[in-house]
Structure 1
Amino acid sequence: MTCMGGVAMTMRRVKRMAAWVGAIVMMTGSAGAAWAQIPSAGIDDFKAPPDPRWGAITAADVEAAYRLIRDNHPGATPEIGDPAFRRALEAAHAQAQARAHEATSYQGYAATLNAFANGLGDKHIWSRPTLLPNLVRWPGMVVSKRGERWVITDTDEANHSMMGAALTACDGIPVAEFARRNLGGYRAVWRIGAQQIQAAPWLLIDEENPFIARPKACDFETAGGARTMTLDWLRAKRVDLLPRLQKAVGAGAAGFGLRKVGDGYWIAMEDLDAPGKAVAVQVAAEAAALRAAPFVVLDLRGNGGGSSLIGREVAAALFGKSNVEARLGSLTDTPCGGGDGTWRASAGNIANLEFLLELLGEQNGPEFRKIIGDLIVQAKAAHAKGQPFSGPTHCDRPPAPAKASGQPDGMKGRLIVLTDNKCFSSCLVVVDDFRSLGAYQVGQATDAATRYSEVREIYLPSGYSMFSTLQAVQVDADPDIGPFEPALAYDGDIADTAALERWVTGVAVRQAGPARP
């Protein structure tokens, strides 16, 4: 009986404990959603002990990433004549080697590889982790960059009074310098304004990067005056914060499709991949109506790239292929490496070209197959001869045609290109092309890239990350592509499509003026 009584007493205690824990869960909403963990003594002070094994793992992956760039990226060769890139590669490699010796955690590993990629100055080169820690810390506030101001645009309930406050400094460091140190080395090429905007929401997110200091206190300008706040760093699930961080960037999402808006047409093209290709087909089918319309908007919000050939197809549908080539030149008949540039003829790049032809050849049509097929033949021939490139590495540009004002013939109304800070990679090429065709750019400034193109990635030896390289160079292009500033900036919420449509049809179309002088 004593034994049974003890069991009964134990069961009652278990039930009371379960009820107490259940009450906590009810008060917090749910253990999974509202809290990163059940409130427990010692949890917030825990730090995993240093693990020296991460040093060797990091060093091996750094060397693999370095070899990938050195042996495959066009800028790493002396033939291209880009000593600035080669210096950046060696400097980033040396810094990564030094940090690898200090890495004692996964967070140190990830930060080292992120900084290595970021140091090469082109967002096409990245370290893509194959796993991410579930928990991060935040002080209950999210920052957005609006112009030159760093503004609180999202908070938890406890910090709601800080909405709209401007962050001015942290731990005595002015916010511009603080952001450059903590974000510029890891999440953004700091000379590019769009990337500062994209990285800004991470400014007050602690991912336990051991190479930067988490601030203890920050200064704010609020409606009630200046305020210094000691930050209370709370654990949160990464997956719960990500939607809030993405919203805080302040970019849009065009979606896909062709629709009538007012008296004109709206082409929504959020990428230049298969969905964007389907929109280009729609545009070609409705070309007559689009050419006769008083205005056409090409909405590229959220467009991170794909194939710039899709942009050329849209341009040809709107203006006619001959009119487009008269302004932009031919993609195939050029002495400067063709539409996809001159490729570095490494074994890895050739294998990737063959993979692309097999994977994408059928769905992208005969022009794509010819371009890629010709590149494979040229790259293999160069490789067999010990030559580093598939074609010329320097090119005398043909004389540029006299700069025309306005749009070419073929389209009656005004063409407006709408961009946000997410426009990158092939989207930049499309914007550049349409600006050359006389389009009127509105919205936000774009991101920027370099004349190096055609990205691919590999797994690093540990399997904890993938690393990318570029494979080709546009030998007749300027060293940098973008950023492209709009002729008319939009200061509202660029994610609000309905409000944006009203602004475009009511303001931008009028400001754009006629298609031709």
Structure 2
Amino acid sequence: MSRTLSFAAVAAVALSLTAGAAVAQDFRALARQDLQMAHDELAANHPAPAIPGQASTDFRAWLDTGLSESLALANRVNSGDSHAYLLRFYGAGFRDSNISLTPSFEGLGPYFGTAWPGYTTGWRDGKYVVTYVKPGLRGSNIPRVGDTVVSCNATPIEEFARAKLDRWEGDLNTEAGRVTSAPYLLWNRNNPFVNGVPSTCEFQTGNRRARALTIAPALPLAAGELEAAYRATVYMPGPTPLSIETVNGRPWVNVHSFADAAGWDAFNAAVEGQVAQLRGPQGFVMDLRGSASIRDRVSAYQARLPAVAR
């Protein structure tokens, strides 16, 4: 069962932001209201409480304890974006990809940050690894691409990542959550509930002894550099969201957007023109990265795909 909740109160936040008249107390009150609404909606409509088993036990436990934990943080809410962070934290705590608490306004994008050290990390083979260093950034306190992060602020990196990223930026119990949130490990994303850029981190090159580096934000923050760092670390779709190509002898169907303006007429014509190849014994790959949730991706794709290719 998919529960994607979008709150009327959040719409009010968007209007207040547009008008520029909202104050911190408004956001705190809205956060409390929306957290309670989410709790009540899930308690009344989600099937988990009525189904025996560990999953039901976990759901019911977080339903109440997660609400209490989230409400205790509500006094730190000072903007529409921090309101969205807190709602996301509560929703992600259920560890269920079918539950998401989503604001009705467009919030921070994946490339947003107020500060960073000039390099970025990615999730590689179960470790946080440096994946990108700003061109021209050199010095004894700059790690190399490929270095592994061992700790930050004297905290083992797993514990540090859990505190800073888990439920705020993604579900670290999933591989997808690890991958998409990893670039934010050392960034300041203006989340008032966690620390920003750490002051020191230990990095390890190969099997050498880890070395502690002092970290200072790379200033000024130039337009586009965070996007470049993120794109170098996490796959992001290119400018053409719909296309068909051949990769290693197999059709590769790119569906990176379900927007009405994505170019469906031309794409569907291309699909119809390659039906024989798509139905071939080699199969085909349908690449849905960069679009909506997986459940919505599949249903939306099936609805738009020409009947001849289904």
TM-score (norm 2): 0.68
Aligned partner letter, 1:221: Q
Aligned to 2:19: none
Q: Deviations over 1:182-227 (max 9, x none)?
A: 1113111121112101100011111343333343211011377532
Q: What's the CA shift string for 1:285-307, capped at 9, x where partnerless?
A: 5424544x563432415154435
Distance of 2:152 and 2:276 partners within structure 1: 57
| Letter aligned with residue 195 of structure 1 | G
Which of 173, 178, 192 aligns to 2:174? It is: 192
Which one has a bigger Cα radius of gyration? Answer: 1
1:264, 1:294 within 8 Å by CA — same for their partners in 2?
no
Cα RMSD between the aligned structures?
A: 3.8
One-letter identity of the residue aligned with 1:270: H
CA distance in 1: counterparts of 2:227 and 2:159, whole angstroms: 27
Deviations 1:8-37 (A, max 9, x none): xxxxxxxxxxxxxxxxxxxxxxxxxxxxxx
8 Å contact kept, 1:168–1:174: yes
Query: Structure 1 residues 176 and 315, CA, compared in 2 at 3 Å: closer, same or farther?
Result: farther
1:162 alignment counterpart: 143
Q: Which stretches in structure 2 are left out of the alignment for 5+ residues? A: 1-22
Deviations 1:130-170 (A, max 9, x none): 45598612122211111122111222333475231221101
| Residue in structure 2 matched with residue 219 of structure 1 by the alignment | 202
Task: Output the TM-score relative to the length of structure 1.
Answer: 0.44
CA distance in 2: counterparts of 1:158 and 1:260, whole angstroms: 38
Could you give the per-residue CA deviations for residues 92-112 of structure 1, whole angstroms, max 9, x where no partner exists?
A: 211111111x32633654432
Larger mean Cα displacement after TM superposition, 185-194 or 51-60: 51-60
**Contact persistence 2:66–2:90 (CA under 8 A):** yes
Q: SS where residue 253 of structure 1 aligns?
A: coil
2:46 to 71, 74, 98: 74
Give the 5 Å matches for 1:72-221.
73-75=45-47, 78=50, 82-100=56-74, 102-103=75-76, 105-106=78-79, 109-124=83-98, 125-128=100-103, 130-132=106-108, 136-156=114-134, 157-159=136-138, 161-164=142-145, 165-214=147-196, 215-221=198-204
- Report whether the alignment pairs 1:287 with 2:275: yes
Provide closer, same or farther for how the CA distance between residues 211 and 238 of structure 1 changes in structure 2, counting only shifts above 3 A: farther
Task: Number of aligned residue pairs: give it.
Answer: 267
* Structure-2 residue corresponding to 1:257: 243
Change (3 A) 1:235 1:136: farther
Deviations 1:220-259 (A, max 9, x none): 1137753211211356659635413531443253842334
Alpha carbons of 1:139 and 1:284: their partners in 2 closer, same or farther (altered >3 Å)?
Answer: same
- Mapped to 2, the partners of 1:78 and 1:166 lie a distance apart of 45
Asked if the contact 2:131/2:233 (under 8 Å) is kept, the reply is: no
- Is contact 2:119–2:132 with CA below 8 Å preserved after alignment? yes
Mapping of 1:450-461 within 5 angstroms? none
**After superposition, where does 1:207-356 map in structure 2 within 5 Å?**
207-214=189-196, 215-222=198-205, 226-234=210-218, 240-251=224-235, 253=237, 255-259=241-245, 265-271=251-257, 279=267, 282-291=270-279, 293=280, 295-302=282-289, 303-304=291-292, 305=294, 306-309=296-299, 310-311=301-302, 317=308
- In structure 2, what residue type is equivalent to 1:295? Q
Find the residue that maps to 2:169 and give its secondary structure: coil
Structure 2 CA distance for aligned equivalents of residues 216 and 234 of structure 1? 13
Q: Any conservation in 2 of the 1:136–1:238 contact (CA below 8 Å)?
A: no
Query: Is the Cα–Cα contact under 8 Å of residues 113 and 188 in structure 2 kept in the other structure?
Result: no
Residue 342 (structure 1) aligns with: none
Indicate the SS of the match to 2:162.
helix
Between the aligned residues of both structures, percent identity stands at 20
**Which consecutive residues of structure 1, in runs of 5 or more, have no partner in the other structure?**
1-49, 322-517
